[in-house]
Amino acid sequence: MKHLRIYIDTSVVRGCLDDEYQQESSALLRMAAEGKVTLIISDILARELELAPVEVQAKLRQLPESCLEVVSHSEETKRLRDKYLENKIVGGSQIIDAHHVAIATVARADVIVSWNFRHIVHFEKIRGFNAVNLQEGYAAIEIRSPREVV
Protein backbone atom coordinates (compact mmCIF):
# COMPACT_ATOMS: atom_id res chain seq x y z
CA MET A 1 0.00 0.00 0.00
CA LYS A 2 1.22 3.49 -0.86
CA HIS A 3 2.56 5.64 1.99
CA LEU A 4 -0.08 8.37 2.24
CA ARG A 5 0.71 12.05 2.47
CA ILE A 6 -2.18 13.52 4.44
CA TYR A 7 -2.85 17.25 4.66
CA ILE A 8 -4.47 18.10 8.00
CA ASP A 9 -6.15 21.29 9.06
CA THR A 10 -6.44 22.70 12.55
CA SER A 11 -9.68 20.85 13.31
CA VAL A 12 -7.79 17.54 13.34
CA VAL A 13 -5.28 18.73 15.92
CA ARG A 14 -8.00 20.37 18.02
CA GLY A 15 -9.97 17.14 17.75
CA CYS A 16 -7.40 15.38 19.93
CA LEU A 17 -8.88 17.21 22.91
CA ASP A 18 -12.55 17.02 21.91
CA ASP A 19 -14.66 14.18 23.34
CA GLU A 20 -16.45 13.60 20.04
CA TYR A 21 -13.34 13.56 17.83
CA GLN A 22 -10.54 12.54 20.19
CA GLN A 23 -10.33 8.86 19.29
CA GLU A 24 -9.91 9.30 15.53
CA SER A 25 -7.78 12.46 15.69
CA SER A 26 -5.39 10.85 18.17
CA ALA A 27 -5.28 7.66 16.08
CA LEU A 28 -4.29 9.66 12.99
CA LEU A 29 -1.48 11.43 14.84
CA ARG A 30 -0.33 8.04 16.22
CA MET A 31 -0.27 6.63 12.67
CA ALA A 32 2.06 9.48 11.73
CA ALA A 33 4.28 8.99 14.78
CA GLU A 34 4.58 5.30 13.87
CA GLY A 35 5.69 6.21 10.34
CA LYS A 36 2.57 4.82 8.65
CA VAL A 37 1.62 8.16 7.06
CA THR A 38 3.16 11.58 6.58
CA LEU A 39 1.20 14.57 7.80
CA ILE A 40 1.41 17.66 5.65
CA ILE A 41 1.07 20.79 7.73
CA SER A 42 0.96 24.32 6.40
CA ASP A 43 2.14 27.65 7.68
CA ILE A 44 -1.56 28.57 7.95
CA LEU A 45 -2.16 25.67 10.36
CA ALA A 46 0.89 26.75 12.37
CA ARG A 47 -0.46 30.30 12.58
CA GLU A 48 -3.91 29.05 13.65
CA LEU A 49 -2.36 26.84 16.33
CA GLU A 50 -0.57 29.84 17.85
CA LEU A 51 -4.03 30.98 18.99
CA ALA A 52 -5.02 27.55 20.34
CA PRO A 53 -4.68 26.37 23.94
CA VAL A 54 -1.23 25.10 24.92
CA GLU A 55 -2.57 21.52 25.18
CA VAL A 56 -3.61 21.64 21.51
CA GLN A 57 -0.28 23.11 20.41
CA ALA A 58 1.54 20.34 22.30
CA LYS A 59 -0.18 17.60 20.26
CA LEU A 60 1.69 18.56 17.10
CA ARG A 61 4.96 19.33 18.90
CA GLN A 62 5.01 15.81 20.35
CA LEU A 63 5.29 14.27 16.88
CA PRO A 64 8.69 13.39 15.41
CA GLU A 65 9.72 15.85 12.71
CA SER A 66 10.30 12.91 10.38
CA CYS A 67 6.55 12.29 10.08
CA LEU A 68 5.78 15.90 9.14
CA GLU A 69 6.07 17.70 5.83
CA VAL A 70 5.81 21.47 6.18
CA VAL A 71 4.44 23.48 3.25
CA SER A 72 3.79 27.18 2.85
CA HIS A 73 1.25 29.28 1.06
CA SER A 74 2.43 30.94 -2.13
CA GLU A 75 1.20 33.09 -4.98
CA GLU A 76 0.11 29.87 -6.69
CA THR A 77 -1.97 28.75 -3.70
CA LYS A 78 -3.48 32.24 -3.34
CA ARG A 79 -4.51 32.19 -7.00
CA LEU A 80 -6.18 28.79 -6.62
CA ARG A 81 -7.84 29.88 -3.36
CA ASP A 82 -9.23 32.91 -5.15
CA LYS A 83 -10.61 30.68 -7.92
CA TYR A 84 -12.55 28.71 -5.30
CA LEU A 85 -13.97 31.99 -3.99
CA GLU A 86 -14.78 33.32 -7.49
CA ASN A 87 -16.65 30.11 -8.22
CA LYS A 88 -18.52 30.45 -4.89
CA ILE A 89 -17.39 27.05 -3.62
CA VAL A 90 -17.16 28.77 -0.25
CA GLY A 91 -17.89 32.34 0.78
CA GLY A 92 -15.35 35.02 1.53
CA SER A 93 -15.60 34.41 5.26
CA GLN A 94 -14.22 30.90 4.63
CA ILE A 95 -11.08 32.15 2.86
CA ILE A 96 -8.82 30.19 5.23
CA ASP A 97 -10.72 26.96 4.53
CA ALA A 98 -10.34 27.59 0.80
CA HIS A 99 -6.65 28.27 1.30
CA HIS A 100 -6.17 24.96 3.15
CA VAL A 101 -7.65 23.13 0.14
CA ALA A 102 -5.52 25.13 -2.29
CA ILE A 103 -2.30 24.45 -0.39
CA ALA A 104 -3.07 20.73 -0.18
CA THR A 105 -3.89 20.63 -3.89
CA VAL A 106 -0.69 22.42 -4.94
CA ALA A 107 1.35 20.22 -2.57
CA ARG A 108 -0.23 17.17 -4.26
CA ALA A 109 -1.43 15.67 -0.99
CA ASP A 110 -3.08 12.29 -1.34
CA VAL A 111 -5.95 13.38 0.88
CA ILE A 112 -7.15 16.31 2.97
CA VAL A 113 -8.38 15.25 6.39
CA SER A 114 -10.64 17.59 8.36
CA TRP A 115 -13.52 17.69 10.80
CA ASN A 116 -14.91 20.78 9.02
CA PHE A 117 -18.11 19.24 7.65
CA ARG A 118 -19.62 22.59 6.68
CA HIS A 119 -16.91 24.05 4.44
CA ILE A 120 -14.45 21.28 3.52
CA VAL A 121 -15.69 17.69 4.11
CA HIS A 122 -19.02 18.27 2.38
CA PHE A 123 -20.24 16.52 -0.77
CA GLU A 124 -21.07 19.69 -2.74
CA LYS A 125 -17.92 21.50 -1.60
CA ILE A 126 -15.71 18.57 -2.56
CA ARG A 127 -17.28 18.46 -6.02
CA GLY A 128 -16.78 22.21 -6.37
CA PHE A 129 -13.17 22.21 -5.24
CA ASN A 130 -12.38 19.39 -7.66
CA ALA A 131 -14.21 21.04 -10.57
CA VAL A 132 -12.06 24.15 -10.11
CA ASN A 133 -8.92 22.01 -9.67
CA LEU A 134 -9.55 20.28 -12.98
CA GLN A 135 -10.36 23.57 -14.75
CA GLU A 136 -7.10 25.01 -13.47
CA GLY A 137 -4.96 22.03 -14.47
CA TYR A 138 -4.65 20.39 -11.06
CA ALA A 139 -5.60 16.87 -10.04
CA ALA A 140 -8.77 16.16 -8.11
CA ILE A 141 -8.12 15.67 -4.40
CA GLU A 142 -9.66 13.32 -1.89
CA ILE A 143 -11.26 15.02 1.10
CA ARG A 144 -12.23 12.88 4.09
CA SER A 145 -12.84 12.99 7.81
CA PRO A 146 -10.42 11.24 10.17
CA ARG A 147 -13.03 8.50 10.68
CA GLU A 148 -12.63 7.51 7.04
CA VAL A 149 -8.85 7.39 7.18
CA VAL A 150 -7.92 5.65 10.45
Computed from CA positions of residues 112, 103, 107, 67, in that sequence, does the dihedral angle turn out positive or negative?
A: negative
Rounded CA-CA distance 40/37 in Å is: 10
Pairing of strands 111-113, 68-71: unpaired
pTM of the model: 0.96
- DSSP conformational letter for 67: G
Q: pLDDT-based confidence at 108, cuts 50/70/90?
A: very high
Q: What are the pLDDT digits (tens) for 17-57?
A: 999 999 999 999 999 999 999 999 999 999 999 999 999 99
Write the pLDDT tens digit of every residue in 80-103. Answer: 999 999 999 999 999 999 999 999
**CATH code assigned to 4-149:** 3.40.50.1010
